[in-house]
Amino acid sequence: MKAIIPVAGEGTRLRPHTHTTPKALIYVAGKPIIGHILDAVLPLGVAEIILIIGHLGQRVIDYVKESYPSLIARYVEQKDRKGLGHAVLLAKEFFGGESALIVYGDTIFQGDLSDGIEPSADGRIGVKEVEQPERFGVVRLEGDRVVELVEKPEDPISNLAIVGFNYINNTALLFDCLEELMRRGITTRGEYQLTDAFQLMVDKGAILKPFVVKNWFDCGRPEALLRTNRHLLENLGRAGRRTGSILVPPVYVSDSVEVVNSIIGPYVSLADGAQVVGSIVRDSIVGQNAKVDQCLLEGSIIGDNAHVKGVPARLNVGDSSEVGLGSIR
């Protein structure tokens, strides 16, 4: 089995952070999003990873090579952003009949995912009930089979969202259907959608079964990123000690972080090299080498190398920015 992970998107909903950092490398609960994804899928028997890269793609390559040196990984650039279906099709050259695990690059999963792998069917589609199905691709079931799939419907056919964990055993049919979409110019919202390829598979008789994903966390928007940070820290957080400061769990504080006369937590992630001085920080993510000085922060995302000083606020500050009383640069 090989895994396809599309990470080419620009992540416009996570700006200003994605101006300088690819979405897959946005930090949450102790590591970048792609790190959480790889840690979840590699134990499932994945022999090779195909990453579909684009925006700031070399940064993704560098991270994977450094953090997972023994991983067999291939990299394909999606030069033209024509949709998720187009991105997955770019991985075709690396398949000779092997099954595929297709995992979206802005979602994190926890728990046992092995039930999502079922070689007896043509594929399994990871789903979860959601309150706003119109924001997602959705499926309709008959018994234990997926019979209809629609991408972001105005009038949802169900509240079962496609969450971005899809096992495809019949990869030959999947790639044939993706090529048919391209050949016939079948698009939804102006893009070639993986959801539409799955529907073509069903129309051609493929048996796709649902797989209920219990612990699925979206990272596509700032508010979702903070919510995911909170959930992950409940299980992954570590407090440790810092002399002269108070750490209120759950938090994740990297070993190289400097905390001076501050209260950190709950629900705070501090990345490598961050410095927090004379501050109270709650429910926030602070990036690598960022500095928080004399601040009261809550519900904030502070980018790498940013410096915020003397600001009682809820902030969303990009990399290498400086925010202080009387100045924003």
pTM comes to: 0.88
- Quick check: is 206 in a domain? yes
In this structure, how many other beta carbons lie within 10 angstroms of the beta carbon of residue 231? Answer: 17
- Quick check: is 227 in a domain? no
Same domain, 269 and 317: yes
pLDDT class of 237 with cuts at 50, 70, 90: low
- Quick check: is 224 in a domain? no
In terms of residue numbers, what domain contains 281? 237-328
Evaluate if residue 329 carries a pLDDT over 60.
no
Span 228-241, average pLDDT: 78
Same domain, 144 and 242: no
Same domain, 167 and 310: no
Q: Of the candidates 198, 220, 186, which has an alpha carbon nearest to the alpha carbon of residue 137?
A: 198
CATH number, domain with residue 20: 3.90.550.10
Same domain, 68 and 28: yes
Same domain, 179 and 91: yes
pLDDT class of 19 with cuts at 50, 70, 90: confident
Give the residue, 249 or 236, on which the prediction is more confident: 249
Which of these three, 218, 250, 271, is where a domain ends? 218
- Quick check: is 226 in a domain? no
Which of these three, 162, 190, 218, is where a domain ends? 218
Same domain, 82 and 153: yes
Return the H-helix or E-strand segment holding 139: strand 137-142
Dihedral sign, Cα of residue 253, residue 40, residue 144, residue 199: positive
> Distance (Å, rounded) from C-alpha 77 to C-alpha 89?
12
Residue whose tokens read 């640069």: 329
B/e letters for 126-156, b = 16+ CB within 10 Å, e = fewer, are bbbebeebeebbbbebeeeebeebbbbeeeb
Distance of CA 310 to the CA centre of its chain: 32
Look at the chain and report how many structural domains it folds into.
2
The most confident of the ranges 189-203, 227-241, 300-314 is 189-203
Per-residue pLDDT tens digits for 25-69: 988 988 899 999 999 899 998 999 999 999 899 999 999 999 999
Q: Are strands 258-260 and 31-32 parallel, antiparallel or unpaired?
A: unpaired
Per-residue pLDDT tens digits for 259-301: 999 999 899 999 999 999 999 999 999 999 999 999 999 999 9
Evaluate if residue 210 carries a pLDDT over 90.
yes
> Distance (Å, rounded) from C-alpha 147 to C-alpha 246?
54
Residue type, 8: A
pLDDT of residue 5: 96
Span 237-247, average pLDDT: 73
Across the chain, what does the average pLDDT equal?
88
Give the residue, 166 or 215, on which the prediction is more confident: 166
pLDDT of residue 317: 62
The token duo for 174 is 């999947």
Span 124-132, average pLDDT: 91
pLDDT of residue 182: 94
- Quick check: is 223 in a domain? no
Same domain, 197 and 284: no
> Distance (Å, rounded) from C-alpha 162 to C-alpha 133?
9
Same domain, 201 and 153: yes
Same domain, 86 and 197: yes
pLDDT of residue 319: 58
Evaluate if residue 158 carries a pLDDT over 60.
yes
- Quick check: is 229 in a domain? no
Give the 3-state secondary structure of residue 301: strand
> Distance (Å, rounded) from C-alpha 285 to C-alpha 270?
6
- Quick check: is 35 in a domain? yes
Residue type, 41: V
- Quick check: is 225 in a domain? no
CATH number, domain with residue 261: 2.160.10.10
Same domain, 310 and 208: no
Evaluate if residue 325 carries a pLDDT over 70.
no
Same domain, 58 and 108: yes
Same domain, 144 and 286: no
